[in-house]
């Protein structure tokens, strides 16, 4: 029995993952449970049969890894059939820079009629789209937090489409207005993220839904893994994306009878917007320090806040400048006959979700902290407490004892 202890536990772990994955996918799937259940149970039986042939545990794991890789390639590889782009119209929000700007260019090159919304018609991003885009590309100035501007964009779009519907809506516009611990973030920061990332996207989606339903088209929303997982120091941003993810998932169920496909794109870290702008990070840091009360700043410490800023800036520098994985998933979501409900765009996102979904909370939590912000400092108040526990803060301890003695003398 001892000789087979390790293979037995490896076998048990593999079967547990397969069966647990089957149950979870069936419960969470918005599609028919039958094919998913059959596939996972079939894989479980296959593992059992392979084990019966006394294959070594290491070889079995290698075979399972190869099978997973082949399945992943079949899911993410180029589609065998793709719908034509010609004659299809799509509206993309947030095209001043980043994913929206790159997607507008790529979809225009594919033959889409593109309506690209920007915050500033005189900005560099808008001018570049107007200069390099085809005659099919229309740039519209829209602040998605202003319902009047969204309604005007709807009227402008209808005027160009005539009796046609809108094939695609790409909800890309979004902001991350600050960084730092939730306690250090102003309520205005939380409201700012919600206003753009959730309520703004909600307003655009509701306004353009009749045109999407008319065309039996697609809705593609650019979200973030921060909406599903607790990234440290991104509470305001993550909360808004969590609301957006739930809204998008609900919308997918509701629009299925209408023949409308709804997809969510979850990118990894990319260089977009102000992420590589040193001045931007310094301004954010300065504004955060100025907004804190003296008592709160003393408890956390300015060095703690500065370290957070430096870590965010360092993380942004390492971000991928190639946005093509994200624009590629947008194209697939718009043109695939059966688009996926969720796209993991970029290296590491699928692994992150696998660990988050299947591993114990303690392990996934540690993985997330090590992956994102590797903080070395703790808040100043905790450092003081730690110093007291190991007898390092002797002056503070001495003062406390003196105060206690004085109080006792006064009582006497």
Span 233-262, pLDDT tens digits: 889 999 999 999 999 999 999 999 999 999
* Tokens at 389, concatenated: 């526990």
pLDDT value of position 26 = 45
pLDDT at 348: 81
Q: Can you give the pLDDT at residue 260?
A: 98
The predicted pLDDT at position 22 comes to 52
Percent of the chain with pLDDT over 90: 49
367-406 pLDDT, tens digit per residue, is 777 767 677 888 999 988 877 444 434 344 334 444 444 4
Q: Between these two residues, 343 and 363, which has the higher pLDDT value?
A: 343
> Which domains does the chain possess?
2-71 (no CATH), 89-371 (3.40.50.720)
Better pLDDT: 276 or 61: 276
Q: How far is CA 297 from CA 181, 207, 291, 347, in A?
A: 12, 43, 9, 37
| Distant-in-sequence, close-in-space partners of 385: CB < 8 Å, separation ≥ 6 | none
* Mean pLDDT calculated for residue range 149-160: 96
Closest listed residue to residue 217, CA positions, set 109, 333, 106: 333
Higher pLDDT, 174 or 80: 174
Please give the Cα distance from 222 to 101 (Å, whole number): 13
Of 1-10, 30-39, 171-180, 402-411, where does the model show the most confidence?
Answer: 171-180
Task: Name the least confident of 212-221, 298-307, 351-360.
Answer: 351-360
Hey, which residues are catalytic here?
Answer: 237
Q: Look up the pTM and report it.
A: 0.76
Q: What is the pLDDT of residues 194-242, one digit of tens each?
A: 999 999 999 999 999 999 999 999 999 999 999 998 888 889 999 999 9
pLDDT value for 1: 45
30 pLDDT exceeds 50?
Answer: no
At 395 the pLDDT is 43
Mean local confidence (pLDDT), 80-85: 82
Q: Are 326 and 267 in contact (CB under 8 A)?
A: yes
Q: What is the pLDDT of residue 275?
A: 64
Q: Is the pLDDT of residue 28 over 80?
A: no
């Amino acid at each position: 029995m001892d000789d087979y202890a390790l293979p037995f536990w490896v076998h048990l772990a593999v079967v547990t993952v397969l069966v647990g994955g089957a149950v979870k996918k069936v419960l969470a799937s918005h599609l028919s449970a039958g094919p998913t259940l059959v596939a996972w149970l079939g894989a479980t039986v296959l593992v059992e049969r392979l084990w019966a042939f006394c294959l070594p545990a290491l070889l079995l794991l290698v075979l399972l890894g190869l099978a997973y890789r082949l399945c992943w390639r079949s899911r993410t590889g180029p589609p065998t059939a793709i719908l034509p782009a010609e004659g299809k119209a799509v509206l993309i929000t947030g095209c001043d820079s980043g994913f929206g700007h790159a997607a507008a260019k790529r979809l225009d090159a594919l033959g889409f009629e593109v309506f690209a919304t920007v915050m500033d018609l005189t900005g560099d991003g808008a001018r570049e789209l107007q200069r390099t885009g085809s005659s099919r590309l229309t740039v519209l100035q829209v602040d998605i937090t202003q319902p009047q501007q969204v309604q005007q964009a709807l009227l402008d779009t209808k005027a160009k489409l005539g009796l046609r519907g809108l094939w695609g809506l790409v909800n890309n516009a979004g902001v991350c207005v600050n960084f730092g611990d939730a306690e250090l973030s102003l309520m205005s920061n939380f409201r700012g993220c919600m206003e753009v990332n959730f309520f703004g996207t909600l307003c655009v989606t509701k306004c353009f839904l009749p045109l999407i339903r008319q065309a039996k088209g697609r809705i593609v929303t650019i979200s973030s893994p921060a909406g599903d997982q607790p990234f440290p120091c991104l509470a305001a941003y993550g909360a808004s994306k969590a609301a957006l993810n739930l809204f998008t998932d609900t919308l997918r169920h509701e629009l299925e009878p209408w023949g409308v496909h709804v997809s969510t794109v979850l990118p990894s870290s990319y260089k977009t917007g102000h992420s590589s702008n040193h001045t931007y990070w310094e301004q954010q840091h300065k504004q955060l320090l100025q907004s804190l009360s003296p008592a709160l700043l003393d408890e956390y410490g300015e060095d703690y806040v500065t370290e957070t800023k430096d870590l965010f800036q360092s993380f942004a520098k390492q971000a991928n400048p190639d946005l093509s994985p994200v624009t590629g998933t947008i194209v697939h979501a718009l043109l695939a006959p059966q688009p996926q409900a969720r796209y993991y765009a970029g290296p590491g996102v699928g692994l992150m979700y696998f660990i988050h979904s299947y591993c114990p909370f303690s392990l996934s939590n540690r993985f997330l902290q090590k992956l994102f912000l590797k903080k070395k400092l703790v808040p100043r108040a905790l450092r003081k407490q730690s110093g007291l526990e190991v007898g390092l803060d002797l002056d503070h301890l001495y003062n406390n004892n003196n105060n206690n003695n004085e109080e006792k003398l006064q009582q006497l």
